[in-house]
Amino acid sequence: MSLPHWALEQLYTFDSQPLAADLAALDEKTAAFARWRASLEAGSPSPEKFRELVTELEDISRLGHRLSGFASLAFAQNTQDQKAQAFMAQVDEKMADLGNELLFFEIWWKELDEALAGPLMAARPDYAYWLQRTRSFRPHTLAEAEERVVNLKNVTGHDALIALYDSMTNRYRYRTDFLPGGEGREVTRDELMVYVRSGDPEIRAGAYQELYRVFGQDGPVLGQIYQTAVRDWRIENIRLRGYESPAAVRHKANDLSATAVESLLAAARANAPLFGEFFRLKARVLGLGRLRRYDLYAPLVADAEIMDFAAGREEVLAAFQSFSPRFKELADQVMAHNRFSARPEAGKQGGAFCYSMLPADTPWVLMTYNGRRQDLFTMAHELGHAIHSQLAADHHIFHFHATLPLAETASTFGEMLLADRLLKRAGSARERADLLFHLLDDAYATIGRQAFFALFEICAHEMIESGATVDELAETYLETLSTQFGDSVDLADEFRWEWVSIPHIFHTPFYVYAYSFGQLLVYSLWRQYQLEGQSFAPRLINLLSKGGSASPETILAESGLGPLDRDFWQGGFDLIGEMLGDLKAAL
């Protein structure tokens, strides 16, 4: 297979003159912005001056995003590259310094009297949501000197700790002794995870056992990193900033009500038996007495052949084209602009992501393509993210990125489009059943699994505050798995270390419920697409084009979706029940 590799030199190369020039320009622009401090202290600016101020701030933010984006992408490309490591540390420190230099504006704006803030927001209506959102954080904002200390300590504290976690886990190599003829060979995590979807139950078990053998060896150390990160989160956000709970910090960042999230998690817990029914059916079809956790993603039929990248790409693009030529055009642009990295390489960051840097720039996508059907769905998912950000490109940098709850909308819808294409082309009832198995596997992985990750996080934060050990956290995680699986799945003890292998739990606390949110939301959108046909495409494109210019609940209300209550979430689970019924019929 000929696999694409992105061209980061489109941004910069290390030690180049353009990189040095932009680093210097960022310092100059930041220093120039400091002149506003005296002006703001003297009194509220005129609307004209305020427009000028915001324009300068956006210019600084755009340049900062470009530099930090290059640092992140270079590190993801090879987490063991010492130049990439050093540059990321340099940029992290510079971004902390920049944040400190701009703090005076943020604090001034939050504290400004409403009677004075109103006319200034009216002068920049296109920035209104961002300006209002900034002011809403006033109760959780510290004094300027304290905010500076927090920013600086994160560089060598929390952020450095998480970078250490990444460096440790991305250098792990896994033995393939469980494979016939695999003795003495080592693979990356992405290469290893191909085997958890093997048609051979012993290979599936061997892949998981090897994954958690490696993570388990460092489990106490990785767990200690997590404990420290959680304590840092609580000290800053609960004790200093006054949030009512650890998870409330994420809800506020997502501009989402706690009630909406609580109803989501409650619905996921209540519907856990629905997935249990699916797992029992899957065990019967696979000829197993009961499904083992090793068998969760076992295919009904093993992939018949490796699909080369060009063919896989055409499958995904054709699925997008069937919905909207605009979808296909924007996805294709990522490849055409050499922004796609698909090669398996030593040191490459595991998993997959889409990095949307600036509104006018084509996004960057990283994944590892092994030619399996799952890789097609990963490609559709990440290119869906790229479509979303390009549709929102008319917004400025502060409204460009969708908040986490909406960030999975286009990506998950992209997977549904691919699944629909493959189902329509299924040549037999057996092939259709296999695809439905895949969709239900994905529904569990994205909804049930992620929701229970979030439930574990909520519990773990409280346990760590009470002095829980790493072993106690691991035992609680195993109990969480037992709760969600009930009597439908057999659990092996090594899965107690699964939580330390989940980067999102370390990187972005409580991020994971956004996946459940996004998948259930897409199920609602999919129902509308089935009812409306092609006339639905402009509605979805309009929703995605809003980016982060309003709260998720406002954007969804404007799109004709109901309140995010228990009934809303149950609608998504009802669709899962329908897919399960279709699967039984196909069998």
439-462 confidence digits (pLDDT tens) = 999 999 999 999 999 999 999 999
> CB under 8 Å to 545, separation ≥6 — which residues?
391, 392, 394
Please tell me the predicted confidence (pLDDT) of residue 497. Answer: 98
Residues 6+ apart with CB under 8 A from 528: 536, 539
- Burial classification of residue 532, based on how many CB atoms lie within 10 Å of its CB (0-12 exposed, 13-18 middle, 19 or more buried): exposed
**Residue 168 has what pLDDT?**
96
In the chain the first and final C-alpha atoms are separated, in Å, by: 34
State the total domains in the chain.
1
Q: Is there a domain that residue 78 lies in? A: yes
Alpha-carbon distance 342 to 8, whole Å?
Answer: 14
Q: What is the largest CA-CA distance in the chain?
A: 77
Rounded Cα distance between 190 and 346, Å, is 10
Residue pLDDT, tens place only, 11-69: 999 999 999 999 999 999 999 999 999 999 999 999 999 999 999 999 999 999 999 99
Contact call for residues 328 and 353 (beta carbons, < 8 A) = no
Q: According to the model, what pLDDT value does residue 223 have? A: 98
Write down the pLDDT at residue 434. Answer: 87
Residue 328 included in any domain: no
Beta bridge partners of 174: 187
Count Cα atoms within 13 angstroms, Cβ side, for 400.
22
Is residue 516, in this structure, part of any structural domain at all?
no
- Residue 304: the pLDDT is 56
pLDDT at 225: 97
The pLDDT, as a whole number, for residue 138 is: 96
Assess contact for 416 and 423: CB atoms under 8 A.
no
Spatial separation of the C-alpha atoms in residues 267 and 21, rounded to whole Å:
52
Closest C-alpha among 264, 250, 291, 214 to residue 452: 264
Q: CB 178: neighbour CB atoms within 10 A?
A: 21
Residue 490 bridge partners (DSSP): 292
Enumerate residue ranges in the chain where pLDDT < 50.
none
pLDDT at 234: 97
Q: Is 239 exposed, middle or buried (0-12, 13-18, 19+ CB in 10 A)?
A: exposed
CATH at 89 = 1.20.140.70
The verdict on residue 86 lying in a domain is yes
Helical residues (DSSP H) of 444-551, grouped into ranges: 449-465, 470-485, 503-507, 513-532, 537-545
Bridge partner list, 489: 291
208-228 residues labelled b (16+ CB within 10 A) or e (exposed) = bebbbebbbebbeebbebbbe
In a domain, 451, yes or no: no
Whether 519 is covered by a domain: the verdict is no
- State how far the Cα of 490 lies from the Cα of 294, in Å rounded to an integer: 9
Contact partners, residue 297, CB within 8 Å, separation at least 6: 196, 197, 204, 441, 445
Q: Is residue 392 part of a domain?
A: no
151 within domain boundaries? yes
Identity of the residue numbered 128: A
| Containing structural domain, residue 66 | 8-156
Residue 382 C-beta-side C-alpha neighbours within 13 Å: 25
